[in-house]
Chain A
Amino acid sequence: MSRLNIFVGHYGSGKTEVSLNYAMELKKQGKDVIIVDLDIVNAFYRTKDAEKILNEAGIEVITPQYANTNVDIPALPADIFKIFTDKSKTIVIDVGGDDDGAVALGRFFGYISQEDYKLNLVVNTKRPLTDTKENIILMLRDIESCSRLKVNGIINNSNLSYDTTTALISEGEKTVKAAADELGVEFVFTAVKEELYDEYLKLTDAKVFPLKKYLKMPWQIQ
């Protein structure tokens, strides 16, 4: 298993939800985890929103200095560098959407490329720009060229929020697997919300990763 676990993808592919859950899972396995919110392109619905839950779970959170404030500038904090120097930590990096978001990752190319990293592309085939094998490959290429790193894992996170069905997830898995096969990249897992986890296990032979919903909408009573 790699020490650096990086999640990239299209806007709204579910990178943040997958990253949060992945960090929680690593923590459960006894790892000393730091999660980094590297999203410099989207001011809303981000890792920072789950900071309290993560801290309570004993996970350190590093976010852009001005995240969730009105300062609309993408300043990354200096203590981000400790993720590369303190090798005892296991790192989860939640990168901003598209190639635009991946630019921030490219800035750390020199550090990341020194290590055995896992760079996962999160794909939701119900998002219009990653709906086909061809579009997934285009998105992957754009992100690779901006980050200067190689995507070496693909995750199926196909969903329609509260309208998700297992049939839809399964269809997404086929498309995402086809893209992974064509690229010769590992298909890592299909992410499935908890409620559908057991049902989905019966439908697939792929690895399935359960997702707990940590980010709630403002109208959902906490």
Chain B
Amino acid sequence: MEKLLMKGNEAIAEAAIRAGCLRFYGYPITPQTEVSAYMSKKMPKVGGLFMQAESEIAAINMVYGSAAAGVRAMTSSSSPGISLKAEGISYIAGADLPCVVLNIVRGGPGLGGIQPAQSDYFQATKGLAHGDFQLVVLAPSSIQECVDLTYEAFDIADQYRMPVMLIGDGMLGQMMEPVTFPEEYKGRDLPEKTWATNGTQMKRKHNVVNSLYIEPNELEKLVVERYKKYDYIKETEVKYETENIKDADVVLVAYGTIARIAKSAMQKARNEGIKVGLIRPITLWPFPEKIISETAKKAKSFLAVEMSMGQMVEDVRLAVNGQADVHFYGRTGGVIPTPDEVYNKIIEIAGGAK
């Protein structure tokens, strides 16, 4: 496998194409525009279609259409653009259709800024749009993981017939690292898309794509069924990485690029003899509750590090459930915490340098 040097945004686009994505609907916004730029050059070469839609709202509804027809489809944006797509994503979830949505998060609220942030955690994992529904949310922390999780995102979407969100930030979208792509990707065994509105060939009844239900009881039944699926996903699809948690007094919890900053801080603290560990959620939903809960039986303190005012920390606190102290350190508005800032917070929690 040949190694290439790629930007996160390019790597995600290339991985999506290799994963069989044939429709990409984009609308430019910093810092994810390279995804569209790459797709516009590459999609026509593989017999796919790139379209720059007239708005984010149009783009997500084009994804809705392609997904209904059983084609792997994707859109990408950054925070304000994801808010615009929210309605469409709810419709896609309500119609049980698979698609992949990429959010390269920037500072907010409002137009906010173009620098890296993680302040869309609540939006991605809890309240992206109206209605009872969930997205699977995948948070890579390296460019290779961007590639691997992009393949995974399409498979998860198809397996469970639901939208999957890949979430990163401008650092991840713009930075370059060596990556390899699998020569031949052996994905999951996926069911045939018998529900797709791709022509009856006069051999079956019409398939209908819909998210409107007249009878409350019928809608309730459907939503409850969907939640059984979510429960199954919570049991089977949780992904995380741990480091040094066995003997840790202080456990850092951080995802995406910030996990790498937390890791540097952890190493510095370990060099000083402070027992620090790290749990890095890779799936933000389903959240790795069990490992956090288990780790909390031994660890004294948890420290959630985020580029936000403290969002994931709430899930950490729920998982810890009073078994240990839960602290938070964050920067927001596009400011990136330094390893030293995180280290200082660790010292504060651990009760001064030893």
Collect the chain A residues with CB atoms within 8 Å of residue B83's CB. none
A42 contacts B174, C-beta separation under 8 Å: yes
User: When the two chains form the complex, which single residue of A44, A72, A128 contacts B174, counting CB atoms closer than 8 Å?
Assistant: A44
Chain A residue nearest in CB terms to B343: A221
Chain B interface main SS type: mixed
B263 is an interface residue with CB less than 8 A from chain A: yes
Collect the chain B residues with CB atoms within 8 Å of residue A126's CB. 3-5, 178
A70 contacts B176, C-beta separation under 8 Å: no
- Known: A44-B171, A44-B174, A161-B178. Contact between A128 and B261, CB under 8 A? no
Task: Looking at the assembled complex, report how far the CB atom of A149 sits from the nearest CB atom of chain B, in whole angstroms.
Answer: 24
Chain B residue nearest in CB terms to A12: B176
Count of inter-chain pairs, beta carbons less than 8 A: 76
A127 contacts B174, C-beta separation under 8 Å: no
A159 is an interface residue with CB less than 8 A from chain B: yes
Collect the chain A residues with CB atoms within 8 Å of residue B14's CB. 128
Complex-state Cα separation, A70 to B110, whole angstroms: 12
Complex-state Cα separation, A162 to B5, whole angstroms: 10
Bits for B209-237, please: 1 = Cβ < 8 Å to A, else 0.
00000000000000000000000000000
A127 contacts B260, C-beta separation under 8 Å: no
Task: Looking at the assembled complex, report how far the CB atom of A167 sits from the nearest CB atom of chain B, in whole angstroms.
Answer: 12
Bits for B338-352, please: 1 = Cβ < 8 Å to A, else 0.
111000000000000
Complex-state Cα separation, A69 to B31, whole angstroms: 13
A78 is an interface residue with CB less than 8 A from chain B: no
A11 is an interface residue with CB less than 8 A from chain B: yes
Task: Looking at the assembled complex, report how far the CB atom of B245 sits from the nearest CB atom of chain A, in whole angstroms.
Answer: 19
Collect the chain A residues with CB atoms within 8 Å of residue B176's CB. 12, 161
B5 contacts A43, C-beta separation under 8 Å: no
Task: Looking at the assembled complex, report how far the CB atom of A129 sits from the nearest CB atom of chain B, in whole angstroms.
Answer: 8
Complex-state Cα separation, A102 to B56, whole angstroms: 29
Name the 4 nearest CB pairs between A and B, nearest first.
A70-B113, A44-B174, A219-B260, A160-B178
Interface residues of A (CB under 8 A from B): 11-12, 42-45, 69-70, 72, 124, 126-128, 131, 159-163, 217-222
What are 5 contact pairs spanning A and B, CB under 8 A?
A: A11-B7, A42-B174, A44-B171, A127-B4, A160-B3
